[in-house]
A = this chain, B = another copy of it.
Amino acid sequence: MTPVGIGVIGLGRMGRVYALHTARQIDGAALVAAADPDPVVRAQFSAQLPNVQMLADYRDLLALPQVEGVIIASPTSTHRDVAIHAARAGKAIFCEKPIALTLTATDEVIAAAEQAGVLFQVGFMRRFDRGYVEAKRKIDAGVIGDPVTIRSVGRDPHRTSLEFANPAVSGGLIVDMAIHDFDCIRWLMSDDIRRVYAESAALVYPELLGVGDVDTALITTRFRHGGLGNIEVSRTAAYGYDIRCEVIGPKGTIEIGYLRETPITVLTREGVTHDVVPHFPQRFGPAYTAQIEHFVDCLLHDRPPAVAPADARAALQACLAATLSQQEGRVVEISEIS
């Protein structure tokens, strides 16, 4: 079977990860082209993968007939235009999260993909992590009964740059981080969010306030069918990268996550010690690969992706509601955001 031709648009941190995974680890796919406006980045990447066609302008990449699917990893502000172009060019689209910072732009992208009839998948890699997948399977199998409460924690070991923290660039802490949590709690609870309340603060990095951002947010949610949820997102976890989720049902509870990187334990007079997961590549490396495998698999077999465009929209909507709650200090109904 001829491998599917993939092009990567944007060779920043995530773009390079996707490109290397696609080139080396994905059965049935071939990385045929990559686009980035920065000539230095292009030169570095060419040295690593000399057989991949390098382009400055993503529109030239979209014009290549051998490119059947694209991975959009350019800055969030460009996602809308790139994705609409890609859809019109008839390419299957994998888009790094978030699709956009507004519901309007998100809806335009989704509409363009639907109109063009192209595959459209968003980068919610937690859905492809072994822990989350197995938890979902156990919940669906009734191991804990119908889940009633969910708690999701996402902690980064340090803040982002102040440039990125700017809500105009990243959407702010909640949009940037909690979009994963909102997607996961909707998915694991099989329910939609009805209302949210967020408290937030810049507790460790007060300089974030200067650009309109915070380092910690605690979000309480009520689901449409009555269940409760709690999300913590923060950038203050000096000890490492800590992503956890706990789903509580009438028959038991499932906890997802782990806090150990190297399989050794040291016992001294100071106590029992092991290391922690330093950052996301160590925690979600295989999930990043698995979601591209899923994308390629859907493309090869003409199947809809496990993560629907509507899921990406709903997660963004919840983030925007929580951000509004954070700003106005009041409970916000999801329906206020449209």
Contacts and interface: CB of A to CB of B under 8 A. Distances in A.
A273 B276 contact: no
A131 B262 contact: yes
Interface in A214-265: 216, 218, 220-222, 226-230, 232, 234, 236-240, 242, 248-260, 262-265
A269 B278 CA distance: 9
A235 B127 CA distance: 29
A331 B197 contact: yes
Contacts of A330: 330-331
A89 interface: no
Nearest to A149: B216
A72 to B, nearest CB: 25
Copies of this chain held together in the complex? 4
A259 B266 CA distance: 12
A40 interface: no
A329 interface: yes
Nearest to A138: B266
Interface string A125-145: 000011100110010000110
Interface of A: 24-25, 129-131, 134-135, 138, 143-144, 148-149, 151, 197, 199-201, 203-204, 216, 218, 220-222, 226-230, 232, 234, 236-240, 242, 248-260, 262-276, 329-331
12 contacts: A197-B331, A199-B221, A216-B228, A218-B220, A220-B220, A237-B253, A237-B267, A238-B249, A242-B267, A255-B264, A255-B267, A329-B331
